Chains A and B, each alone.
Chain A
Amino acid sequence: MANSAGVCISFKAEVMMGYHQLGQPTLGTARSTTTPTNDTIKCALYLASASITPSTTAYTATGEVSGGSYAAGGVTVTNANPPVVNSTAGCWTPSASIVFPSATLASFDTALLYNSSQGNRAIAVYTFTAQTITAGVLTLTMPANTIGNALLQIS
């Protein structure tokens, strides 16, 4: 089964259960009702041969890329922007590009966003044309945080 993009199905239910705190917290969270903090969101990369889909419920090392300074689990996403309302949608996009430091990575085509503060629960899967990195750096540039463009959107 190939990788495919989409918001993880489990995430849709977990949002209603209050598991995820994206961006600057304004409410008490499952982790603390007195000192709320935003969750640590991470991004992992997967080989084109992996099977990461919206049915993925949590981060897995199966099918994950490896090589160079890439550490299992990927990198932490800058999670400083609170979700915003744009037109008729709620939008959230990381506040900075996601940068994977120098590595040599075999063909990969998928990034998984997941919440490492909440049992590595999966958030969403993003696919792109397969890439290789050779002793280089991968930068995932973020789209505009607006309806139709935001990385994560409730509409």
Chain B
Amino acid sequence: MLVDTIYGPMVAYVLDKRVTDETKPSDTMPGIIERVEATEYWLGGECVHRSAHVTLTHAPAGADTGSF
């Protein structure tokens, strides 16, 4: 399998694959739990590929609200 990297396509088996799936409080919206899934490929201590899935979240009630 080929992976797009900052150096162009590379075969996956020469890279160190790291997958994270975090569900945690948002850094930007207090009280909101968000989920971020990320896939990284590393080569010699350098991240050469990172893709992410971010689940968008309805903004919290309050002054800046996602509803009105």
A interface vs B, CB < 8 Å?
3-7, 12, 53-54, 89, 97, 102, 104, 109, 111, 124, 126-143, 148-155
Establish whether residues B56 and A7, one from each chain, have CB atoms under 8 Å apart when the complex forms. no
Q: What is the interface residue range for chain B against chain A?
A: 20 to 34
Q: Are B64 and A135 in contact (CB under 8 A)?
A: no
Assuming A129-B26, A155-B68, what are 6 further A-B pairs, CB within 8 angstroms? A129-B28, A133-B50, A136-B50, A139-B54, A140-B56, A151-B66
Within 8 Å by CB of B59, from A6, A137, A140, A154, lies A6
Total A-B Cβ pairs within 8 A: 119
| Closest Cβ neighbor of A55 among chain B residues | B64
Closest 10 A/B residue pairs (Cβ): A136-B51, A6-B64, A153-B67, A127-B28, A134-B50, A5-B59, A129-B27, A141-B55, A139-B53, A155-B67
Whether B68 contacts A7 by the Cβ 8 Å rule is yes
